[in-house]
Amino acid sequence: MKDKLATGSDFIDRYDHMILSDAMKAMYGNSGFYNVGDWTTNPSNLETACEALVIKHLDLVAIPQDPIMILDAGCGLGKGSGVIAQRFGNAHVVGINISEKQISFAQEARAGIDFQVMDATRMEFPDEHFDLIISIEAAFHFDTRKDFLDCAYQKLRPGGQLIFSDMLLNNTEWIGSWSVPAANLITDINDYTKLCIAAGFRLLQCNDIKNSSIKGFCNHLRNAMQLTDLADGLENSVIAYLLTSLKKQSL
C-alpha cells in the first residue's frame, strides 16, 4: 500500500527519521551531505560526489558581481551551505529548512552560517532580499513547487538568480509517496519550464543531468553497497533530474 502524503509535523517527523537515521548517516560517511551527487569525474566516494553536485550549481552563477546575500533553500544538514560559503567568502549565507532538528544539527556543525527554521514556500524575508538562491534536490518535496518558485521570485533582487536541482518522477514509491505533493508530479520538461516562466523568471537553462547524477548514485548503491533493488527502483522512478538556472529580470 502506498503511503499517504504526510503534512505538517508528520512530514517533518518522517523526514527527520530518515535523514538523521544511523543508516543514512553511515551511507553518507557522516558528512552532513544528503544528495545523489555528481559522478561526472568518477569520484571515489559519495561525499566527494555530493560536494561536486553543489559546485555544479555554483558554477552556473552568472551575476556581474559576487553575490552578497545568498539563500540555501531546503538546506538539509547544512553541509552544502558550507560549500556555498567557501565559494563566496564575503557573502552572508542563510540556510533554511522546515525541520527544527536538522537546523539544530546544522547550527552545531557549521558556525558562521545563518541557519533558520522556515518553510521555503512561505519565506519570511523581506522582498528583494537575496542576490542568489540555491536549492539542491529539494523542490519536489516543497508543498508546492509552484509556491516555492513564486516566493523565490519575490525574495530575489532584480537581476538575481535562482539555481536549483529537482526531479521529475513517474512514481514516488522509492522516493516516498508521503514526501511528494500531487501538484509536484509534473512529468514533462516543457510543462516544467512553463511553470518557471509563469513565476516571472527568464529561463537560462533547464538541463537533464540524470546520467551524471541519479544514475551515478544508483551505480554506487549497486556496486559499493549491494543495494540493487533500491538502486533499480530509484533509477526507474526518475524521469529526469533537472539542473535549472533562472534569472529575475532587472528593472
Q: Which amino acid is at 43?
A: P
* Sequence ranges of the domains in the chain: 8-247
Residue 3 has pLDDT above 80, yes or no: no
pLDDT band at 229 (very low <50, low <70, confident <90, very high): very high
Distance CA 97, CA 186 (A): 23
Using one digit for the tens of pLDDT, what is the confidence trace for 200-227? 999 999 999 999 999 999 999 999 999 9
CATH topology of domain 8-247: Rossmann fold (3.40.50)
Distance CA 24, CA 207 (A): 28
Using one digit for the tens of pLDDT, what is the confidence trace for 75-119? 999 999 999 999 999 999 999 999 999 999 999 998 899 999 999
Which has the higher per-residue pLDDT, 6 or 200?
200
pLDDT band at 193 (very low <50, low <70, confident <90, very high): very high
Mean pLDDT of all residues in 182-197: 97
Residue 5 has pLDDT above 60, yes or no: no
Residue 61 has pLDDT above 90, yes or no: yes
pLDDT band at 9 (very low <50, low <70, confident <90, very high): confident
Q: Which residues pair with 71 in a beta bridge?
A: 94, 133
Contact 171, 245 (CB under 8 A): no
Residue 8 has pLDDT above 50, yes or no: yes
Mean pLDDT of all residues in 173-201: 95
- Backbone φ and ψ of 82, nearest 5°: -65, -40
Instruction: Cis check for the bond before 144: say yes or no (omega within 30 of 0).
Output: yes
